[in-house]
Amino acid sequence: MFTAENWPIGANMLSFGSTTPDGTPTLEASSSVWASQLRQVKELGVDQIDPTDAWLPLAKLSDERVEEFRRVLDGEGLTLSSISMTRNSVVDTRRGEENLADALRFIELAPSFGVSVVNTGFMQDLTPAQAAAIWFWLEDGHVDDPALRDLAIERTRTLGDAAQAQGIQLSLEMYEDTYVGTADEAVAFLQDVDHEAVGLNPDLGNLVRLHREVEPWSDMFEKVLPHSNFWHIKNYTRDYDPATGAYSSAPMPLKHGYINYRQVIRRALDHGYTGPFCCEHYGSDSLGVIAENVHYIRQVLASALA
């Protein structure tokens, strides 16, 4: 059992984006660029990261560059809490097989970095309207095709088998309009996959930010926490005016938003949650907010585990 001090809690490196300021893909950037960005995390008192493929897709690196990244990581005194795939669905009609291969590569690499879980999901690329919006969730995005659900189950089992062989877990990220887009759909999909190495990522921040009706967060968590093995954790304001039908939402630090994470994290522990946390935030000084959230989670854990 982890303590509050050593529980895996990482900063999502999405804050730095997928390109450097001069437009070079992070994938092709020099190791000195990686080091500079990692150092900013360390300077905020955070010792772990999730190198999401939206920052640095490790699966696309040559073996030599993977080792280069490992040396940089060690040099900056950081470790990995988890590895996440973002918007690279294994049933994407254009790139599904490529994404499946990448997911298998992530699973292969994970144990060598001390990572116990690889996260994936069925969300796909932002639409042009989403990319142009102030916040991408204000526009409708990809909707999973029911006809591909069986294939999604089959490929998830393939990943589950690979994860189990490596002694790690696979986690499925909850995201609107995908096969795991609501609490009930997520639990049903997981039951159909029926694999002991596969669990849920209860990233309900993805849902409470939507400008549509959603189930109360406390009800959703009660359904999914017993099945959760990893957690993208973030918070938002959420408001609804019944007189006009207008919704509003905006990113917030964990302790200031709509979801009461002090309550929810304690409830997760009651359900036996032992997975890593990956802190995310959009807008403003996202890295600074993420660092605050890491420290907040450790305080909540210390109180809950005392």
Confidence grade of residue 208 (pLDDT, cut at 50, 70, 90):
very high
The string of pLDDT tens digits covering residues 165-190 is 999 999 999 999 999 999 999 999 99
Q: Looking at residues 93-113, what average pLDDT do you find?
A: 98
Note whether residue 51 is domain-resident.
yes
Cβ(196)–Cβ(168) under 8 Å? no
Nearest-angstrom CA–CA distance, 181 and 152: 14
Note whether residue 4 is domain-resident.
no
Note whether residue 2 is domain-resident.
no
Q: Domain with 95 in it: what CATH number? A: 3.20.20.150
Confidence grade of residue 1 (pLDDT, cut at 50, 70, 90):
confident
Note whether residue 3 is domain-resident.
no
Note whether residue 259 is domain-resident.
yes
Q: Looking at residues 231-241, what average pLDDT do you find?
A: 98
Note whether residue 1 is domain-resident.
no
Mean of per-residue pLDDT scores for the chain: 98
Confidence grade of residue 265 (pLDDT, cut at 50, 70, 90):
very high
Q: Which range of residues forms the domain containing residue 168?
A: 9-305
Note whether residue 271 is domain-resident.
yes
Give the percent of the chain with pLDDT over 70: 100
Query: How many structural domains are present in the chain?
Result: 1
Note whether residue 227 is domain-resident.
yes
Confidence grade of residue 276 (pLDDT, cut at 50, 70, 90):
very high
Is the pLDDT at 3 greater than 90? The verdict is yes
Nearest-angstrom CA–CA distance, 78 and 75: 8
